[in-house]
Chain A
Amino acid sequence: VSAPLGGAVDTLRFGSGAVVRRVEDPTLVRGAGRFTDDVTLPGQTWLAFVRSDRAHARIAAVRRDDALAVDGVLALWTGADLVAAGVVPLAFPPGFRRPDGQPASAPPRRALAHEFVRFVGEPVAAVVADSRAAAKAAAAAVRV
């Protein structure tokens, strides 16, 4: 279907310098590729995060009533929920040492912020719903 790049010189090349066309490109340039976001499975649910809008702050309370009232919400977790459920912080890469041989400091890194947020954008709560719109609406309704 598609003409090879260049003129006779290119088409006569063999081995080094020969034009090699990628087999996947015609599909991709048509927008017919299949990326993860293009797949919707039966029973699929959507996740939305509530993220920190503060660089450093204490989490005094998380109000979830309005979020849970959104139609289609299936679950809502905060950092405190995960701690209560026994979810441990992400493992710190072992073996790092300071120049004097002491082990490097290994602050707990949690999937969801617990008690404090430490950067803008840190996930504070996670909402699962049966549609993207419901997950987003519920995340917006969580009050931290």
Chain B
Amino acid sequence: MTPIRLHLNDRPLECAAEPHTLLVELLRDTLGLTGTHVGCDTSQCGACTVLLDGAAVKSCTLLAVQADGRRVTTIEGLAAPDAPLHPVQEAFVACHGLQCGFCTPGMVMSAVALLQENPAPTDEQVAAALEGNLCRCTGYVNIVAAVGQAARALRGEAR
């Protein structure tokens, strides 16, 4: 086991993992944060997307040891269980941007990363930013609408 120090969801954390352990396995199996999903295991679907030092990454494609000393944000870190939803989460609910909800944590994390970089993306830019996230339910239209609404909410504009 290799010791790993993370700054996970705004809290320092010390844990350990085998050298072959993936970041998503550390999050889900060791730390019990099952909001980050494994949809494909082949880096295609994006359900496992988390933020690494603020950038959206696929946690099934990173070794846990590669996250040592870095800042990791998962879907559980966006809003505490008893706190109001993050504006991106709120917009996904309001715009019906989810159905089964399996891809949603990854979609939300990718959207958060996009809006940090570009607070006012066009629909085309949203679609491009989410090209690494697959959804088998919605057809994406409401997801793009949700990200647009979240962008307006984060900019402080009326819905």
Interface of A (DSSP majority class): loop
Nearest A residue to B33 via CB reads A31
Closest chain-A Cβ to B34's Cβ sits at a distance in Å of 4
* 0/1 string, A17-44, CB within 8 A of B gives 1: 0000110111111111111011010000
Q: Which residues of B contact A34 (CB under 8 A)?
A: 34
Given A30-B81, A37-B38, A24 contacting B94 (CB threshold 8 A): no
Report if A102 contacts B (CB, 8 A): no
Minimum CB–CB distance for B69 against chain A, Å: 24
Give B residues with C-beta under 8 Å from A.
18, 20-21, 25, 28-29, 33-38, 74-76, 78-79, 81, 84-85, 89-90, 92-96, 98, 100-102, 104-105, 108, 159
Q: Cβ of B93 and Cβ of A29 under 8 Å apart? A: yes
- B100: nearest chain-A partner, CB-CB: A28
On whether A1 and B84 interact (CB within 8 A), knowing A29-B93, A33-B101, A35-B102, the answer reads yes
* Residue among B38, B76, B81, B101 making CB contact with A24, cutoff 8 Å: B101
Across the A-B interface, the 5 shortest Cβ-Cβ residue pairs: A31-B35, A28-B101, A31-B75, A38-B34, A29-B89
Closest A residue to B159 by CB, please name it: A6
In the bound complex, do residue A133 and residue B85 qualify as a contact, i.e. CB atoms below 8 Å apart?
A: no
Cβ–Cβ contact A29 & B98, under 8 A: yes
**Sampled A-B contacts (6; CB under 8 Å):** A1-B85, A5-B95, A29-B89, A30-B78, A30-B85, A31-B35
Q: CA separation between A7 and B159, bound complex, in Å?
A: 8
Assess whether B38 is in contact with A2, with CB atoms less than 8 Å apart: no
Which residue of A1, A25, A37 contacts B92 across the interface (Cβ within 8 Å)?
A25
Point out the residues of chain A lying under 8 angstroms from B37, CB to CB.
35, 37
- A33: min CB distance to chain B, Å: 5
Taking A2-B90, A7-B159, A29-B93 as known contacts, 15 extra A-B pairs with beta carbons closer than 8 A to each other, sorted by chain A number, are A5-B95, A5-B159, A21-B93, A26-B85, A27-B101, A28-B104, A29-B85, A29-B101, A30-B76, A31-B36, A31-B104, A35-B102, A38-B34, A40-B29, A133-B20
Looking at the assembled complex, report how far the CB atom of A137 sits from the nearest CB atom of chain B, in whole angstroms.
Answer: 9
Q: Which residues of A contact B84 (CB under 8 A)?
A: 1-2
**Quick one: which of A1, A5, A7, A29 contacts B104, CB cutoff 8 A?**
A29
A2:B85 contact, CB within 8 angstroms: yes
Residue contact A30 to B92, C-beta cutoff 8 Å? no
